[in-house]
Amino acid sequence: MIDNLIRSYLNYARIERSLSANSIASYRRDLAQFGAYLVKEKLPITQIERNDIVEFLITLYERKLDARSVARYLVSIRQFFRFLMMEGIVPEDPAATIEAPKIRQALPVFLSVKEVERLLEIPDPRTREGIRDRALIDLMYSTGIRVSELCGLCLGDIQMQSGRLRCIGKGNKERLVPVGRSALAAVQKYLDEARPRFLKNGVCSHLFLNQRGKPLSRVAVWKLLSTYGRRVGLRRPLKPHTLRHSFATHLLDRGADLRSVQMMLGHADISTTQIYTHVVEARLRQIHKAHHPRA
């Protein structure tokens, strides 16, 4: 029964709420584990109480999951029970009064401008992969787009003449983001010299392709960035979001206003963007301490 209810909820989330494929996949993973726990403990969905959910969350901590991951599971469970209430399957949400774990908001990890410049020099311009990867990295840093947005880009989404990029973000929201000259030139080189060699004899509308002429996956982007990060000697693993954090931090560092950065990042709430102001403030304090004679 629980599996059928989870499938019904996922269909509702996809069709009625228009959630993205990534969100649906996340809910599917979380609820599958919650469902397996209920089956193991022989707990009927109609008899779940608050303590049952608390016990499930405790098992997540025992598996060494962090507070952020546990909080995500709790959100998934709450959304699931709200759906069950709407369908008349349960009378109330047993998770409603469970307090979310306290999440310590860490400052985003970002690269320096020099590190970005060194990173862009690493891909080999003599190979199709190197040309593609240079365009990919330059575009991510120039626009601050998420890795899922990058992998979803199609040929018509990048407007060379106007220097803008159309991307579909969370909640299937569309936005236009300016693209820098360097990134435009790198993408044009990729389109002219490398992409046809990935395509072979096939047809694909996606912008960035893998060796088989298929759309480049998020996992593939994670792997190639990790490899380049090691080659450039970065102290921490290079992740797609590191380039997004670098984009936002460097803009604010050079005087961009918070609202504009929010729009370019596609944040629904400006409070999400404000974390980057803390990064800039922290850097200013470091500079003051290091260079002022009476700091």
DSSP, res 201: T
CA-to-CA distance for 121 and 95, rounded, in angstroms?
50
C-beta of residue 187 within 8 angstroms of C-beta of residue 132? no
Of 121, 120, 161, 155, nearest in space to 141 by CA: 120
Is 170 in the active site?
yes
Residue 293 DSSP code: T
Please indicate whether residue 292 is annotated as part of the active site.
no
Residue 37 structure tokens = 């726990």
Cα angle value 107/119/214 (rounded, 5°): 100
Catalytic residue among 170, 206, 239, 283: 170
Helix (H, G, I), strand (E, B) or coil at 71: helix
Q: Is 223 a catalytic residue?
A: no
251 conformational bin, left if phi > 0, alpha if psi -120 to 50, beta if neither: alpha
The pair of structure tokens assigned to 227 is 């490899």
Q: Which of 72, 195, 250, 267 is catalytic?
A: 267
Distance CA 135, CA 180 (A): 12
CA distance 103 to 69: 10
The three-state secondary structure class of 174 is strand
Catalytic, 276? Answer yes
Q: How far apart are CA 142 and CA 183, in angstroms?
A: 6
Active site residue 9: no
Residue 212 bears catalytic tag? no
- From the list 72, 132, 195, 244, the catalytic residue is 244
Task: With residue 39 as reference, give the H or E element that holds it.
Answer: helix 21-41
Give phi and psi for 175, each to the nearest 5: -145, 155
Q: Are the C-beta atoms of residues 209 and 215 closer than 8 Å to each other? A: yes
Active-site hit among 72, 132, 134, 146: 146
As a whole number of angstroms, the distance between CA 133 and CA 138 comes to 8
Residues that are catalytic = 146, 170, 241, 244, 267, 276
